[in-house]
Amino acid sequence: MRRGFVMTKKIFVTGTGTDVGKTYVTGLILKKLKESGRRAGYYKAAMSGNERAGDGALIPGDALFVKEVSGIDQPPAQMCPYVYEQAVSPHLASRLENNPVRIETVEAGFEEVCRQYDYVTMEGSGGIVCPIRFDGEEIWLEDVVRRFHLSAILVADAGLGTINSVTLTAEYMRARRLPLKGIIFNRFHPGNGMEEDNVRMCVQRTGLKALALVEEGADELAMDGELLAGLYEE
């Protein structure tokens, strides 16, 4: 492990798939850390599906969203080294836009963030089985997680189908020796019997903790700040 990573506490946020609200929950995580008095930073190796500003520059949408929700003052340019326009998997976007991901660049950017912040949250792209380069050189998201020695939080939608997607993701990560700290269920509706049962079944099936239930439209993470910070590891 590089020297810049040693003292920083870090965690990885993955999802059961695309559009489960991973970026939204990540923003709430950083907001909670900031409000509890911790210097919190954000990082993402590659993000695709971004729009262009008037001057033609690509806007790192996920990074700006996290910054707005959390209130952190981190410059967006530091939050993600590879920003793509095409709304496809990063490996394909990078090939279409002739800007391949280089693991050394991802590592250097991550190390810079770790030098400046005490708690760094790295967000994945899509689910855990996500290629970020596949053009002769092969890089998968899990390669990045393993290289940086990160434990993970799993974000899942609380609705229909989540028992299957949570279980498959958890079992895949276990088989690959990628540690999971627990699950945050997004778009949860209190009193909804199906969603409450989904949470119970996921916990029973995986043995993981339900760390938080994020209600639709919530602007706070219903989780103790000390407990959240305790999930991060050097």
CATH number at residue 78: 3.40.50.300
Residues with Cβ within 8 Å of residue 164, at least 6 apart in sequence: none
Alpha-carbon distance values, 99 to 64, 72, 123 (Å): 21, 28, 20
Encode burial over 211-227: b for 16+ CB neighbours within 10 A, e otherwise: bbbbeeebeebebeeee
**Does 105 map to a domain?**
yes
**Does 41 map to a domain?**
yes
Q: What's the mean per-residue pLDDT of the chain?
A: 95
* Sheet arrangement for strand 9-15: 40-44, 119-127, 9-15, 152-157, 180-188, 210-215
Q: How many distinct structural domains can be found in the chain?
A: 1
**Does 47 map to a domain?**
yes
**Does 150 map to a domain?**
yes
Q: CB neighbours (10 Å) of residue 77?
A: 11
Quick: pLDDT tens for 67-82: 999 999 999 999 999 9
Residue 8 pLDDT grade (very low, low, confident, very high; cuts 50, 70, 90): very high
Catalytic residue selected from 44, 67, 181, 209: 44
Q: How far apart are CA 145 and CA 152, in angstroms?
A: 9
* Residues forming a β-bridge with 44: 123
Please check whether residue 101 is in contact with residue 133, taking contact to mean a CB–CB distance below 8 angstroms: yes
Which helix (H) or strand (E) covers residue 140, if one does? strand 138-140
Please check whether residue 69 is in contact with residue 35, taking contact to mean a CB–CB distance below 8 angstroms: no
Q: What are the phi and psi torsion angles at 116 (to 5°)?
A: -100, -15
Q: What is the mean pLDDT of residues 147-158?
A: 98
**Does 171 map to a domain?**
yes
**Does 117 map to a domain?**
yes
Q: What is the pLDDT of residue 200?
A: 98
Residue 136 pLDDT grade (very low, low, confident, very high; cuts 50, 70, 90): confident
Predicted confidence (pLDDT) at residue 214 exceeds the cutoff of 90:
yes
Predicted confidence (pLDDT) at residue 1 exceeds the cutoff of 80:
no
Q: What is the mean pLDDT of residues 162-181?
A: 98
Predicted confidence (pLDDT) at residue 3 exceeds the cutoff of 50:
no
Domain that holds residue 183: 3-229
Q: How far apart are CA 146 and CA 153, in angstroms?
A: 14
pTM of the model: 0.95
**Does 234 map to a domain?**
no
Residue 6 pLDDT grade (very low, low, confident, very high; cuts 50, 70, 90): low
Q: What is the pLDDT of residue 96?
A: 96
User: Is 31 one of the annotated active-site residues of the chain?
Assistant: no
Residue 56 pLDDT grade (very low, low, confident, very high; cuts 50, 70, 90): confident
Among positive and negative, which fits the CA dihedral 50, 53, 57, 61? Answer: negative
